[in-house]
Structure 1
C-alpha cells in the first residue's frame, strides 16, 4: 500500500490559553495583594550542590540506586569518566528503570544532567508537582542529556530516574548531576492568602509518569487503584449504550487542585481497559454475553489521581449472526494537504457504515526491529532509495497535533500537555460516537516493510517485536517528548486500538520496495509471526475480558502469494485484506494501458502471463489462489473463503498521451504517467475526489466488469460505484468475509465510493 512523506511539521504552541489565563490570574492577585510574597521564587542565595549520591558510580556498586527487577549493574567499560558506569538492559516487557530519591526545596529550580549511551535513553525526575524528562533516540557514543524543572509549593523530594525503552537493549549512564540547594534548608515561597482568587500552579506540564512495567497492574480493589485526592473523584458514571462487544460510559468531569488538565482511566474488574481525554469513552473488544463492573478514575500528568468512582455493572449482549466486514484504511498523512480528519469520517456518513478502520502505518525500527514512534519524514517519493523508510514515522500526526473545536470529532479543543492529541485522540472520539466501530493499526506498508524479515527471523526476535507492538499500541505506552512534545506516556493510548494489522510487502519476494530484506525462511517465519501475535494478543486480552483482532494485508499477485503458507496462516487471522488492486499502472510508462483491478481475465488483455504458469493478474485468480490453490505456482490454497476480504482502491492510476484506439484508450500505448495532482502529489496517481467522471468519459468493460475514464488524452483506471457493486456481488457469490477500501481520504465529500461498497454487501 501507499505511504506519503511527512511534510514540514508545524510548530506546536508552547503555551495554552489555560496556562496564559493562570499567569494573568497570578499577576492580578499580586497587584491586589491577595498573594503575599515572602521571598523570591528561586533561592538564588542557597548553596548549589549535586544532590545525587554515588552519581558517578565510582563506589563500584549501585549504592544509593535501585533498578527495577535487578536490571542494572556497574561496569568498568565503557565509561564516560572515572572507572565505573551504570549499565541496564531494557527488555521487550520492561524499560530497566534505575532511580534515586533525594530531598529538595519547594519553589526552587533544579538542573538534572548526565551522560548516556544507547537507543531511546531517558533521564528525568518526578515528584509532587514535578514531571520532567529528556531523552535521546540514539547515542552510539556518550551523549549529554540535560533538563531543568521547578519544584512545586509542597515539593520536598523528587525521584531521579534513567531508563531505556521496550526492546531497545542495553543502555548506559554515567556522571549524573542534580544541581540546586539541598532540601534541609528552608525555602522561600509564595504564600497564598485566604482570598478565593485563582493562583498559578508551579507544576510541570501534564504527562504520564514513566513506569518500568508495560502491563496494567491488577489492583487489590475490585475497582482499581486508589488516588491521593488531588484530583476529584468522577461522579455520575453511567452506561449510555451496550453492544455485544462494547460499552459506552460517561461521567461528570473531575477537577484538579494543581491546575493540571485531568484525563481518565477506565477499569474493568480492577484492570485498566481504556484511557480517555474526555468524559465519554467506548470500551471495545469486550467478549459477548459477559458481566463485569466498570469504574473510572481521574488523573493528571503530575502523578495525582482521584479515588475510584462508584462502579456500574454491565452485561454485554449476545453476539449477533456474523455479517460481512466493511472496513477501510485511514491514512496517517491525510491530515496535511488533504485536510482529511477523523471528523470527515463522521460528517461524510462513512463511520456509520464501517465495522473496522485500519490506521496506516506504523514502522519497524531499523536496528532493534521493534515498533517505535518518531518524527522523521520518509523518502516515499523516490522508489530507488533503499533506505526510504529507515527510522521514519509521524508521531506528530499520531498523537501530538492539536485539534480545535472546528476540526475535532466531538467539538472539544486540545490542550497542549494532554497525554494524547492528534489522530489517536480523534479516533478515540470517533469510537465514542460509534461503539460498533473497531480500530486496528497497520504495521508496514510499501515503504515500511524493509525490516519485517529481520523482526520475524527467530523466536526471540518475534517475541520481542510482538511484545513491543502490543506495549505501544494495545497497552498504549507511547514515548513522551518525541521531538519535544509532552504528549505520550505509559497507558496514554490504552484501549484505543482493537487489534493489529500486518502489511508485510512481501514475505520472501523481491517484488517489494527496493532494499527490502528478504529470506528464503520468510514463508515459514510469516506464519510463525502470525502465531506469536495471536498468542500474545489472546494472553493480554484474557484478563481484560477482551478479544483483539489480528488481520493482515496480503498480496494479490500469484508470484507473491506463492511465498505464503496459504493453508496455515488463516488459522491465526480473524480475516485477511487481499490487496486486489495495483495490478497495472504507469510504472509501465509507455503502456499498454490496462485495468488496475480486472475482476476477471479477458482474452483482449495484452499483458504477459505470470510465470511459471500462464495466468495474468486479476481478482478472481488471486482469490482462487488462496482458496483452492494454483498448483502451477506451488500455491496450496486452503485459506478459508469466509476470512478473505476483497480490496477496493479509492485512488486511480493514470497514463497520458494515450490514443483512443478501438476502445476509448484501453490497451493502448502512452507517453508516460499523468502529471501529479495537488492532493495525491504523485505522477500517475489521483484520488477519486480529484477526477471528474461524466457519462461521456466513463467507460465499462463487461468482460472484466471494470471501469475507466478517458478524456481523449488521459486514461484513468480505478473503481466507479458500478465497478464496486460488481465486486460486492462477486464477494457475496464466493462467500467472502467482506470488502475493504484503501483509503478513506481519496473518496469524495459525499462518500460515494464507500456508500457503494457498503451497499453492495447488503
Structure 2
C-alpha cells in the first residue's frame, strides 16, 4: 500500500517396512578406486521419496549392479540442503558431516551380484532433495567417463500455470564441456520425465496436493550432474478453496482522501460500492516508538460532517463524542452490517516504525489492541491489518530486524486480538528468487493471519524514468517483461510454494494507472523521458480520469495499456479485472482487494467488476 506513493514489485510416522538387501564396493576398495582417468565400476544408485506426512518423510535409495562382476560393498554419498536431515535409517549405516550424508552397507548386505539390487531407507525432516550423489566415489549414474566432466546443476525450476491437475516448470540451462543431452524432471525425488528443452508440463496431478520438483542434467555421455534446487508446488482445489459466498471483496479507504480528493464514506453508498464489498481497510494508522498511533486525528475522529456529506443525511453536532471518518464508518455499518472494517497500520510512508515494534512484539500488539479497541470507536473495527513494507527488506526505508520478525509480530497480534477479531497483512508481490518474499518467514506468519493481501501492482513505474514502458500490474509474464518474477502469477506461485494455501491469499488490483511521457512506441517496451503528468502525483493517475483522457489501446499480460500523444499508461479496466477475477477463482484464492476506492468512477464500475467477477 501507499500513503502517497508505493513500489510493491520493485519495491512467496512411522517407518515403513524396511527395505531389503545390499549394494556396492567396500570401503577398503575405495582407497584404490578409479582415478579420474579410469572408468568407475558399473553400478547405479537412485533415490525416491516414498512418503511424506508434513512434519517428515521417508526416503529410499536403491543400488543396482549394472556390471558383469560382483560388488563386495557399497557406499552412497549425497548432500541435503540446510534444514533437511536424516533422523533414522535402516539396512545401512548412515552418518553425516554438516549437510553431507554417507550411507555404508551393513555387514550382511554388502555383496551384490551382477544385475542384482538392494535398497536401504531412512526417515527424515525438511523438504529438500538430495544432490551430488556418489556411489563408491563415482557418479550414481554409473561412474564418470574418462576425460569428460559431468554437467553442472540446472537452475532451480520456476512454476507457472498451476491448476488442480497440472503445473508447468521452467529452468535455466546447465553447462557441460561436451554438451547437454537432456534433462531429468524429478518429482519428490523420483524421475517423472526426460526432456530436451527447458520446460515441462506435469499433468495428472491431484488437486490440493503438495509436490517438490527438481531438475538434473545429462550430458552426451549420459552422465548426470548435481540436482538443481527444489521448487515446492501446491495444486489448486482439493476441497480447500473458498466458495463464491466466501470470497473477499476488499477496498482501501484512505483518511487523507477527505481533503483534496473530496472522497468520503458516503461515496461508497452513492456509487453503489457499499453493496458490493465485504471488507474495508481504513488507511492508515502510524507506527511510532514501537506502538500503534493515530494517523490523522482530524480526519479519523474529529472532522464535522454536514448533512449532505453524511452517510445517513444527518449532520454532526459540535458536542457529539465521535465524528470524522470513524463515525461515518459506524453509520455505514449500520446500513450494511455485513461489511467488516479493519484499521490498517503502516503503509509505504509509515513502515519505518515496524523494526522497533518487532523488537517487542507483545508490547506492540498490546498498544495496537488498546488503540483499535478504544471505547470511543471499538464498535467500528472488526480487526487489524498490518501493511509492513517490508519485513527484513527495503521499501521507503530498509528494515534489518530478521527473517522471524514478521512471524513473531503476527503471532503476538493473534494472541492479543484473539479469534474473534480479524488479523491480516498486506505483503509484497516480489516473486523473484531471493527477493522480498524470501526475506521473511511469510509461511510461518500465515498461520496467524486470516488472509494476506498480496500487493500485485506497482511492479513497474516511473522510478525507471526512461522506461522501458511496462504494465504496472501484469497478471502473468510476457515476452520483454523488464524483470522476471514481477507479475501476479509468479508471486502467488511463490507463496503457494511456501505452503501458504490459496484460501489465505487475495489478489491486488490498482484503481489507478502508471504512466510515462516522451514515448513513441505504442506497445510495451518503449523508451520515455520521464513520468507523465498526473493530477496528484507525476506518473500516477486515477482510473476515472484515464478512462476519459487516455482510453485503453491494447492489453498485455492480463492488463490494459494506452498511448495518447506522447503519454503511455497502464491500468486495469472492467474487462481486465474480469479476466483477473476468473484467474482468482481458478487458483482457489480467497478473493481480491483494491487500492483504493477514490480512483474508481462515480458509479463504482471497477468495484462492480470485482464483485461480478467473483460471483
TM-score (norm 1): 0.48
SS of corresponding position for 1:698: coil
1:466 aligns with 2:466: no
Spell out structure 1 runs of 4+ moving beyond 6 A: none
Per-residue deviation, 1:706: 1.7
Q: Closer, same or farther in 2 for the Cα pair 1:601/1:721, shift >3 Å?
A: same
SS of corresponding position for 1:583: coil
CA distance in 2, matches of 1:745, 1:640: 31
Let me know the Cα RMSD of the aligned residues. Answer: 1.8
1:249-398, aligned counterparts within 5 Å? 323-365=246-288, 368-373=289-294, 393-398=295-300
Residue deviations 1:176-217, cap 9 Å, x none? Answer: xxxxxxxxxxxxxxxxxxxxxxxxxxxxxxxxxxxxxxxxxx
In structure 2, which of residues 576, 599, 613 is the aligned counterpart of residue 746 of structure 1?
599
Residue deviations 1:224-258, cap 9 Å, x none? Answer: xxxxxxxxxxxxxxxxxxxxxxxxxxxxxxxxxxx
CA distance in 1, matches of 2:286, 2:306: 28
**Is the CA contact 1:651–1:686 (under 8 Å) kept in the aligned structure 2?**
yes
Q: Which residue of 2 aligns with 1:619?
A: 488
**Is the CA contact 1:4–1:333 (under 8 Å) kept in the aligned structure 2?**
no
TM-score (norm 2): 0.59
SS of corresponding position for 2:330: helix
Higher relative contact order (CA 8 A, sep 6+): 2
Residue deviations 1:521-575, cap 9 Å, x none? Answer: 2x2011011011111111xx7xxxxx11011001001311011223322211111
SS of corresponding position for 2:252: strand
CA distance in 2, matches of 1:583, 1:719: 14
How many aligned residue pairs are there?
Answer: 376
1:684 aligns with 2:568: no
**Is the CA contact 1:569–1:639 (under 8 Å) kept in the aligned structure 2?**
no
1:565 aligns with 2:441: yes
**Is the CA contact 1:362–1:444 (under 8 Å) kept in the aligned structure 2?**
yes
Q: Which residue of 2 aligns with 1:439?
A: 341
In structure 2, which of residues 564, 580, 583 is the aligned counterpart of residue 730 of structure 1?
583
Structure 2 unmatched runs, 5+ = 6-241
CA distance in 1, matches of 2:458, 2:385: 20
SS of corresponding position for 1:447: helix
1:461-540, aligned counterparts within 5 Å? 461-473=360-372, 475-476=373-374, 491-510=375-394, 512-514=395-397, 516=398, 518-521=399-402, 523-538=403-418
CA distance in 1, matches of 2:385, 2:292: 13
SS of corresponding position for 1:451: helix
Per-residue deviation, 1:321: 8.4
Structure 1 unmatched runs, 5+ = 6-318, 374-392, 477-490, 542-546, 610-614, 629-636
Q: Closer, same or farther in 2 for the Cα pair 1:416/1:353, shift >3 Å?
A: same
**Is the CA contact 1:731–1:738 (under 8 Å) kept in the aligned structure 2?**
yes
Q: Closer, same or farther in 2 for the Cα pair 1:519/1:342, shift >3 Å?
A: same
Q: Which residue of 2 aligns with 1:417?
A: 319
CA distance in 2, matches of 1:435, 1:404: 23
**Is the CA contact 1:568–1:639 (under 8 Å) kept in the aligned structure 2?**
no
**Is the CA contact 2:405–2:440 (under 8 Å) kept in the aligned structure 1?**
no
Q: Which residue of 2 aligns with 1:671?
A: 529
CA distance in 1, matches of 2:595, 2:357: 26
SS of corresponding position for 2:2: coil
Per-residue deviation, 1:417: 2.5
Residue deviations 1:7-59, cap 9 Å, x none? Answer: xxxxxxxxxxxxxxxxxxxxxxxxxxxxxxxxxxxxxxxxxxxxxxxxxxxxx
CA distance in 1, matches of 2:384, 2:547: 36
In structure 2, which of residues 442, 447, 460 is the aligned counterpart of residue 584 of structure 1?
460
Per-residue deviation, 1:320: 10
